[in-house]
Amino acid sequence: MSIKMFRKKHLSIMTWNIYFGADLTPLINTTPEEVPEVVAEIFNQFNQTNFTARYESISKQIYKTRPDIIGLHEVAVWTLQSPTSLDVIDFLDILLGDLSKLGLDYNIVAINRNFRNRLPSSTGSTIGILDRDVILARSKSPLKFSNIQENNFETNLVVPIGGQPFKVLRGWSSVDVCLFNHKFRLVSTHLEANSSEVRFAQANELLKGPGVTNLPLIFIGDFNSNAEFDESQTYDLLIDSGFTDAWDIEDKGPGFTASQARNLLNPISTLNERIDLILFRNRFDVRKINRIGNKQRDRTPSGLWPSDHAGVVAKLNFHHASNCLEASSHHKVNNKFL
């Protein structure tokens, strides 16, 4: 395929925080005696937000937009262990299975395994959670991937839970992508929400790590830094480092992506921050960009929003003539909870 033909082709990219299903912050500053009751309340909220209903709405949005590459965040694995049984709720397995039923097959390109914990519940069970960020790609696609990296940040927030320090481990995934001998790098991340200092340090790690490349570069993810706020230091750091915000190119209004109520039942959308971003540096043009999962019709029949975040989907034109001699085929990794 000639470069001229390729320049008429676009690349579709999605980023979406699909939500653990519960607010974990009540665990912070608990005493050992308080932990079991708080864990039970958190797991009750997880059951109420009903991922088995929400994933159908999430799948529908992916089916409608059919992105070439998807970055998903808070792709949790929950476990419920009793003396006689172990139940595992794996968001990724559930979502990929539903997409397959819709006729869409996605491959796992990269998985970040971030923080995990297992704590006793007042119900007598032990509740576990593993946080993951995932990059997926359409299986029937000419995209090839190489230099796949899955890493955790060196700087992370540490909070007290049950009287013990707990590291809120977060990370990033990076992959070099080749399409018809044209190469760029994609980085997906979820930065710290509860500390501006930690968040800023993590953004610096991105710039000094996977951001060090001569390739055209795309950063996607939940950056937890409000693009519409004048003093968003992390956002400003990224923009000042040469990135362009894809949403700003289209100039389609505020484009809020966070946050709905933690129980997802608020009747009117409460999105009031734009923290889920698609940023690019060098050789890209924005053809189209939209939010998903933010409309009333996207809610489940019981009234749940598909996530506490809206997703963002952009179609980008890519103009570059680099060499992809070392690009490899799709890379699958094991996503089971260990």
In this prediction, residue 229 carries a pLDDT of 82
Whether 252 has a pLDDT exceeding 70, the answer reads yes
Alpha-carbon span 98 to 195, nearest angstrom: 35
In this prediction, residue 263 carries a pLDDT of 97
Whether 11 has a pLDDT exceeding 80, the answer reads yes
Alpha-carbon span 131 to 256, nearest angstrom: 24
- pLDDT (tens digit, 9 = 90+) per residue, 40-73? 999 999 999 999 999 999 999 999 999 999 999 9
45 or 253: which leads in pLDDT = 45
| Residues of the chain above pLDDT 90, percent | 83
At 121 the three-state DSSP class reads coil
Alpha-carbon span 69 to 135, nearest angstrom: 7
Mark 134-160 as b/e (b = at least 16 C-beta within 10 Å): bbbbbeeeebbbbbebbbebeebbebe
Whether 322 has a pLDDT exceeding 70, the answer reads no
User: Cα 119 from chain centroid?
Assistant: 25
Alpha-carbon span 240 to 212, nearest angstrom: 15
Give the pLDDT band (50/70/90) at residue 323: low
Domain 8-318 falls in which CATH fold?
Answer: Deoxyribonuclease I; Chain A (3.60.10)
pTM, full prediction: 0.92
Q: What is the mean pLDDT of the chain?
A: 91
Alpha-carbon span 109 to 199, nearest angstrom: 25
- pLDDT (tens digit, 9 = 90+) per residue, 60-108? 999 999 999 999 999 999 999 998 999 999 999 999 999 999 999 999 9
Return the domain boundaries, the chain: 8-318
Alpha-carbon span 34 to 217, nearest angstrom: 46
Give the pLDDT band (50/70/90) at residue 321: low
My answer on whether omega of the bond before 328 falls inside 30° of 0, hence cis, is no
